[in-house]
Amino acid sequence: MHHRFLTVLCAVLLFCTLAWAQPVSPLEAKPGETITLPPEPLQRVMQSVVTVQSRSDAQANTSRTLGQRREGTGVVIGPDLVLTIGYLLLEAESVDLIDHQGRRIPGQVRAVDNLSGLGLIRTLIPLRLDAVPLGDSDSLPTPGKLWTLGQSESAPTELELVSRKVFAGSWEYLLEAPLMTLPAVNNWSGAGLFDDQGRLVGIGSLLVQDVFGDQVPLPGNLFVPVNLLKDPLPDLVRSGKRTGPATPWLGITSQRLPSGGLAVLRVSPDSPAALAGIAVGDTLLALQGQMLQDLPDFYRRLRALGPAGSRLTLTVRKEGQSREVEFLSTDRATALKRPSGI
């Protein structure tokens, strides 16, 4: 009976989520209704969102997982600068932008920031579009009302910021306080997330199955907060990378096992993990002799050992036998083909 109740409740919540996910057009407000965004910020937001089309080499590592041709959204944040989600630009050979007037604008990858997951495109000809100011993603109230706009959409969609729960991606990616929103929307890849003054506060990254972490999962979207970009932005624009040591990377895609440890789902070719003999089907049990609890625990402790190039010891179970594997981490950028333009 309890299982049936949860099933029905999930179905109801999902129906409500889909019903809420309708574009809210501030320009179509009825007499007496409140317009969702002031006219000037709304106009700037509408013309700042562009389509991003990229193409990578067919033999590139990321083409096997992300596809050779990718399409998503970007947001104009400077005279010749567009902010988007980084996975659209990994190992890209060419990048084109299409603005709200249908103009095709050639661009180059300026930076892919593996720590935040954000990417920057510099255009090869003037954009002639007003840049959107960056808001303060740290001060957003939760719950709170926000708006998203993706490529080819005619009006922003109203969202609710519902949580800032930690997100750990299986591909060695950690966000301590992402922006989790409801209802779930489909056009999220690189989409802009805006506050009530039309300031950019986040960039769309993922559709997640659980925005709260409760027993009854509720699907929504994860947006990367723009405050993660503010400090490194001058360096990313100038040199294409952050200053200082790189974040350590092993080349392991993994997930937590109910019985304990992390199951290895994929190992990147020629990565430190691959060269150390770690393979799909292995289980990661411990780091530096201490048992691994979950992905956030793994990533935090890995980073605490030092930057890329630091030595570490993993306890790995393979075919029922445990062994200790000692090797050096590396910078993930060294395993990727340098995008055209950087």
Q: What is the pLDDT of residues 143-184, one digit of tens each?
A: 999 999 999 999 999 999 999 999 999 999 999 999 999 999
Q: Residue count of the chain, please give it.
A: 342
Averaged pLDDT, 70-76: 97
Please tell me whether residues 324 and 266 are part of one structural domain. yes
Please tell me whether residues 138 and 262 are part of one structural domain. no
How high is the pLDDT of residue 17?
40
In a domain, 279, yes or no: yes
Please tell me whether residues 85 and 5 are part of one structural domain. yes
CA nearest to 260, candidates 290, 223, 218? 290
How high is the pLDDT of residue 28?
42
Q: How confident is the model at residue 41 (pLDDT cuts 50, 70, 90)?
A: confident
Tell me the Ramachandran region of residue 325: left when phi exceeds 0, alpha when psi lies from -120 to 50, beta otherwise: beta
List the domain range (segments joined by +) for residue 262: 248-335
CATH of the domain at 18: 2.40.10.120
Reply yes or no: is the peptide bond before residue 23 cis, omega within 30 of 0: no
Please tell me whether residues 3 and 138 are part of one structural domain. yes
> Which of 218, 244, 270 is the endpoint of a domain?
244
Over residues 80-134, the pLDDT tens digits come to 999 999 999 998 999 999 999 999 999 999 999 999 999 999 999 989 999 999 9
Instruction: State pTM to two decimals.
Output: 0.86
Residue type, 5: F
Number of domains in the chain: 2
How high is the pLDDT of residue 29?
41
Residue type, 210: D
Averaged pLDDT, 302-321: 95
Please tell me whether residues 6 and 107 are part of one structural domain. yes
Alpha-carbon distance of 37 to 135, in angstroms, equals 15
Averaged pLDDT, 311-325: 95
Which is more confidently placed, 18 or 310? 310
Alpha-carbon distance of 248 to 178, in angstroms, equals 21
For the chain, give the mean pLDDT. 88
Please tell me whether residues 169 and 304 are part of one structural domain. no
| Distances in whole angstroms, Cα of residue 15 to Cα of each of 23, 224, 252, 280 | 16, 26, 36, 37
Please tell me whether residues 192 and 271 are part of one structural domain. no
Please tell me whether residues 155 and 43 are part of one structural domain. yes
Please tell me whether residues 280 and 238 are part of one structural domain. no
Alpha-carbon distance of 306 to 309, in angstroms, equals 8
Over residues 231-248, the pLDDT tens digits come to 999 999 999 999 999 999
| 152-168 b/e (C-beta count within 10 Å ≥ 16 → b) | ebebbbbbbbbbbbbbb
The number of helices, as runs of H, and strands, as runs of E, in the chain is: 7, 22
Token duo for residue 323: 């062994």
Total Cβ atoms within 10 A of residue 299: 18
Residue type, 314: L
In a domain, 342, yes or no: no
Over residues 175-227, the pLDDT tens digits come to 999 999 999 999 999 999 999 999 999 999 999 999 987 667 899 999 999 99
* pLDDT of 8 higher than 70: no
Please tell me whether residues 68 and 205 are part of one structural domain. yes
How high is the pLDDT of residue 36?
65
Averaged pLDDT, 295-312: 96
CA dihedral sign of residues 135, 236, 63, 329:
negative
DSSP per position, 172-207: TEEESS-EEEES--S--TT-EEE-TTS-EEEEEEEE
In a domain, 56, yes or no: yes
